[in-house]
């Protein structure tokens, strides 16, 4: 990732150093929304979404924290004495996680780990990180590859938000209907970050309902064993196990 365009990574690194200026999320159609800021991305366990708090007691073995950001999840897992590796595609995010106290951090992507995924028992994608898979086709392909390179009893704990109930950041009904007219997945999103005087690169994201996720999983080697949730507008975490 180009450090000059890694605006969210810059925000994470600044927040880790005590800055409190929030990010702005800008959608391709001009809609803008104030981001969650350090209060969410550096939040302690007691302030996490209910679904994430429910999941932690189910983690076991060696854990991979995918898209770790500033490391809030890895820090809690360290506190619980779990063996965790944090990864993020952003060099600045990885730097922020180290600054916050995460012991084992690498700047890399899920796909780049390849067969090294076989060393992990649990994969965690919190913070709506199903979104990093970008669209249904890419999500299906990546999940299928992960199934081929992980242990038979490996488990994925992946978070998303149902886009139809108003809780998905940067998403509203007008964009949902625009997606339907364009013939793309209803929960797809093209956005970029603004932070201070910086403007980042455009990137793709996706939100899915539990039923949409189940449809994507068909033929990947994974299925939903359980969904951790509270109310429909809040994020949920799906536990994926192998067929």
> What is the rounded radius of gyration, in angstroms, for the C-alpha atoms of the chain?
17
* Cα gap 185→181, rounded to integer Å: 10
Half-sphere exposure of 192 (CA within 13 A, CB side): 12
Q: How many CB atoms lie within 10 A of CB 161?
A: 26
Sequence-distant (6+) residues with CB within 8 A of 116 are: none
191, 157 contact by CB (below 8 A): no
Q: How confident is the model at residue 230 (pLDDT cuts 50, 70, 90)?
A: confident
Q: How confident is the model at residue 104 (pLDDT cuts 50, 70, 90)?
A: very high
153, 121 contact by CB (below 8 A): yes
Kindly tell me if the per-residue pLDDT of 29 is higher than 60: yes
pLDDT at 2: 56
* Cα gap 63→82, rounded to integer Å: 7
Q: 211-214, long-range: CB within 8 Å, 24+ apart, which pairs?
A: 212/136, 212/185, 212/187, 213/130, 213/158, 213/160, 213/238
| Mean pLDDT over each residue of the chain, to the nearest integer | 96
pLDDT at 207: 97
pLDDT at 3: 54
**Reduced DSSP (H G I as helix, E B as strand, rest coil) percent helix, strand, coil of the chain, to 5:** 40, 25, 35
> Could you read off the pLDDT of 43-86 as tens digits, one per residue?
999 999 999 999 999 999 999 999 999 999 999 999 999 999 99
Closest CA to 85 of 67, 63, 117, 114: 63
User: Can you list the domains of the chain with their CATH numbers?
Assistant: 7-242 (3.40.50.150)
What values do phi and psi take at 24, rounded to 5? -120, 135
Helix H segments across the chain? 7-16, 38-41, 50-55, 72-79, 91-100, 110-113, 136-149, 173-182, 210-217
Sequence-distant (6+) residues with CB within 8 A of 215 are: 136
> Could you read off the pLDDT of 185-199 as tens digits, one per residue?
999 999 999 999 999
Percent of the chain with pLDDT over 70: 98
> Could you read off the pLDDT of 107-161 as tens digits, one per residue?
999 999 999 999 999 999 999 999 999 999 999 999 999 999 999 999 999 999 9
* Cα gap 150→50, rounded to integer Å: 28
């Amino acid at each position: 990732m180009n450090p000059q365009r890694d605006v969210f990574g810059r925000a994470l690194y600044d927040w880790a150093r005590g800055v409190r200026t929030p990010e702005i999320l800008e959608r391709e159609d001009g809609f803008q929304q104030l981001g969650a800021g350090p209060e969410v991305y550096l939040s302690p366990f007691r302030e996490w979404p209910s679904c994430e708090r429910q999941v932690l007691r189910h983690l076991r073995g060696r854990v991979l924290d995918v898209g770790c950001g500033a490391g809030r999840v890895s820090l809690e897992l360290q506190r619980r004495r779990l063996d965790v590796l944090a990864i993020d595609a952003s060099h600045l995010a990885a730097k922020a996680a180290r600054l916050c106290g995460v012991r084992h951090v690498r700047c890399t992507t899920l796909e780049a780990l390849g067969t090294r995924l076989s060393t992990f028992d649990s994969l965690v994608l919190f913070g709506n990180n199903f979104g990093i898979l970008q669209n249904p086709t890419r999500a299906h392909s990546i999940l299928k590859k992960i199934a081929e390179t992980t242990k038979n009893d490996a488990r994925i704990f992946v978070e998303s938000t149902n886009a139809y109930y108003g809780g998905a950041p940067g998403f509203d009904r007008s964009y949902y209907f625009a997606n339907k007219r364009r013939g793309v997945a209803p929960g797809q999103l093209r956005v970029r970050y603004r932070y201070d005087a910086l403007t980042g690169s455009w990137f793709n994201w996706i939100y899915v309902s539990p039923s949409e996720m189940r449809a994507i999983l068909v033929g990947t080697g994974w299925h939903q064993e359980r969904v951790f949730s509270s109310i429909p507008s809040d994020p949920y975490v799906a536990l994926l196990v192998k067929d």
